[in-house]
Amino acid sequence: MTATAPTPPKPITSAKDPRFAPTLYAHVGQAESWTLDYYRRNGGYEPVKRAFAMGPDAVIEEVKKSGLRGRGGAGFATGLKWSFMPLKDGKPHYIICNADESEPGSFKDRYLLSEDPHQLIEGMIIAAFAMRASVGYIYIRGEYVHAAERVWAAIHEAREAGLLGQNILGSGFDFQLYVHRGAGAYICGEETALMNSLEGLRANPRLKPPFPAAAGLYGLPTTINNVETFCAATQILRYGADWHAGMGTEKSKGMKLFQISGPVARPGVYELPLGTTFRELIYDWAGGPLEEMKAIIPGGSSCPMLPWTDAILDTPMDYESVAAAGSMLGTGGVTLIPKADCIVNATWNLVRFYGHESCGKCTPCREGISSWMTRMYQKLVTGRGQPGDVQLILDMSDNIGGRSFCALADACLGPVLSSIKHFREEYDALATTQQPLYPARRRWKDA
């Protein structure tokens, strides 16, 4: 008789599944959760012991098997990224944590930094061991003063306990970790601009190739990951790759920190499995909207906005499903836009942000976003629109998209093009009658 293979368990795609329990945020909000004593009492620094026992190559394979993808917005396979670091090249290797959380609508990493910094430190030790890196930097957004102080204090605790420095836990592995505070520049979220800033240079993006894994910080092999990504690596080494792969969808595995802002009953950060629907996040966890909604930005300000429909609400929050719906999952920063708000006004707020944050290195961004696009939106929302203005914005977008040195200009075009696509009538009203269909409840000052 031929034995029948057991049916694999159904993946967890809802936080309401009794098998799901938060891990990344399990200790956020607990008393003294940022201290080494608390962290070790709750199993801290046991995963790194497992990593040392496995060996560097096996750690990378474990992360690959887990299906972890970068949580900073791009969603690139983390294990594959780690494998790009050259081996036995005789050069120092660096790892960097991008904690410059500046994307409007994103605020998940600040709580990991301030409430559970040892989880991040442990994840960076594991990653450094896997990639043979001897030095790491945590690049923290300048405004996160409290978080930076907590992280520095945790690093000092770890050094005194022999968890950083020479011969960590008797493994023979040496690793030093430092904090660098940014100066409030959104462009530093771009990895090569971040490295320039870290080196004391102007925060302009670099030409790629060479990519950071070949020539990064100080021209040496470097890998950069997000705070949440490093913390997820800690949990993968704690519970195993199969545990992580048992959550989410076929191509988007694991748990994710979703943020929700706007007029909802309980805005905040929610740790949910990938594949959870927008409806579950908004209604079951955030308590539902407080007024009628018009649009949703699914993953941070750079992601194209989507109309408020049942089909969108029932879309699973994973990389592939959100892309198929016409947007991106990004950082998981969900923002709701009320029906009573003028969509052109809301988009102008984003355009002005990107115009202000442009480094000015390339012409499409410096002239296209910071100058022309900002002025066109100001013209529309201040009652000076003319027929043809909307088409001019579309023509300018054609000349900007895909032509800037980094992705900042394209990030600005996400909300611009999607708002015109889904809410063209609001633009046309401002361009022809100079009167908004939805009078702005929040008037922006003239730029």
Question: How do residues 138-195 score in pLDDT, each as one tens digit?
Answer: 999 999 999 999 999 999 999 999 999 999 999 999 999 999 999 888 999 899 999 9
The upper half-sphere exposure of residue 134, i.e. CA atoms within 13 Å in the direction of its Cβ, equals 9
Does the pLDDT of residue 50 top 50, yes or no? yes
What's the pLDDT at 447?
40
What's the pLDDT at 49?
97
Report, as an integer, the average pLDDT of 20-42: 96
Length of the chain: 447
DSSP 8-state class, residue 250: S
**Residue 117's Cα: distance from chain center in Å?**
17
155-164: string of b/e by CB count within 10 Å (b at 16+)? bebbeeeebb
- Average the pLDDT over each of 235-239, 291-295, 370-374, 432-436 and give the range with the smallest value: 432-436
**Residue 219's Cα: distance from chain center in Å?**
25
Does the pLDDT of residue 280 top 90, yes or no? yes
**In the chain, what's the furthest Cα-to-Cα distance?**
81
DSSP 8-state class, residue 77: B
Mean pLDDT of the chain: 93
Say if residues 47 and 59 touch (Cβ distance below 8 Å). Answer: no
**Of 95 and 208, the one with more pLDDT:** 95
What's the pLDDT at 352?
94
d(CA 142, CA 228): 18
What's the pLDDT at 74?
84
Say if residues 111 and 25 touch (Cβ distance below 8 Å). Answer: yes
In whole angstroms, how large is the CA radius of gyration of the chain? 23
In single-letter form, the type of residue at position 129 comes to F
Report, as an integer, the average pLDDT of 31-56: 97
Question: Residue 121 to residues 38, 118, 152, 384: CA-CA distances in angstroms?
Answer: 14, 5, 10, 53
What's the pLDDT at 240?
95
Report, as an integer, the average pLDDT of 338-344: 94
Q: What share of the chain in percent tops pLDDT 90?
A: 86
What's the pLDDT at 384?
92
Helices (H), 33-77: 36-41, 46-54, 56-66
In single-letter form, the type of residue at position 184 comes to G
- Average the pLDDT over each of 71-75, 187-191, 316-320 and give the range with the smallest value: 71-75
Cβ count within 10 A of residue 14: 16
Would you place residue 246 in the very low, low, confident or very high pLDDT band (cuts 50, 70, 90)? very high
In single-letter form, the type of residue at position 109 comes to D
Angle at which helices 46-54 and 227-239 cross, to 10°: 70
Q: Taking the CA atoms of 4, 6, 11 and 12 in sequence, report the sign of the dihedral they define.
A: positive
Would you place residue 436 in the very low, low, confident or very high pLDDT band (cuts 50, 70, 90)? confident
Say if residues 353 and 284 touch (Cβ distance below 8 Å). Answer: no
What's the pLDDT at 288?
97
d(CA 93, CA 85): 8
Contacts of 445 (CB under 8 A, 6+ apart): none
Question: How do residues 108-153 score in pLDDT, each as one tens digit?
Answer: 999 999 999 999 999 999 999 999 999 999 999 999 999 999 999 9
d(CA 228, CA 245): 16
Does the pLDDT of residue 393 top 50, yes or no? yes
Does the pLDDT of residue 424 top 50, yes or no? yes
Would you place residue 443 in the very low, low, confident or very high pLDDT band (cuts 50, 70, 90)? very low
What's the pLDDT at 364?
87
DSSP 8-state class, residue 446: P
Q: Is the pTM of this model over 0.85?
A: yes
What's the pLDDT at 439?
73
User: What tokens were used for 14?
Assistant: 């809802």
Cβ count within 10 A of residue 4: 6
Report, as an integer, the average pLDDT of 247-276: 96
Name the region of 29 (left: φ>0; alpha: ψ -120 to 50; beta: rest).
Answer: left
Question: How do residues 2-24 score in pLDDT, each as one tens digit?
Answer: 555 556 678 898 999 999 999 99
Q: What share of the chain in percent tops pLDDT 70?
A: 96
What's the pLDDT at 446?
45
Contacts of 197 (CB under 8 A, 6+ apart): 139, 182, 183, 185, 188, 203
Q: Taking the CA atoms of 198, 201, 203 and 204 in sequence, report the sign of the dihedral they define.
A: negative
Say if residues 231 and 255 touch (Cβ distance below 8 Å). Answer: no
Contacts of 171 (CB under 8 A, 6+ apart): 52, 129
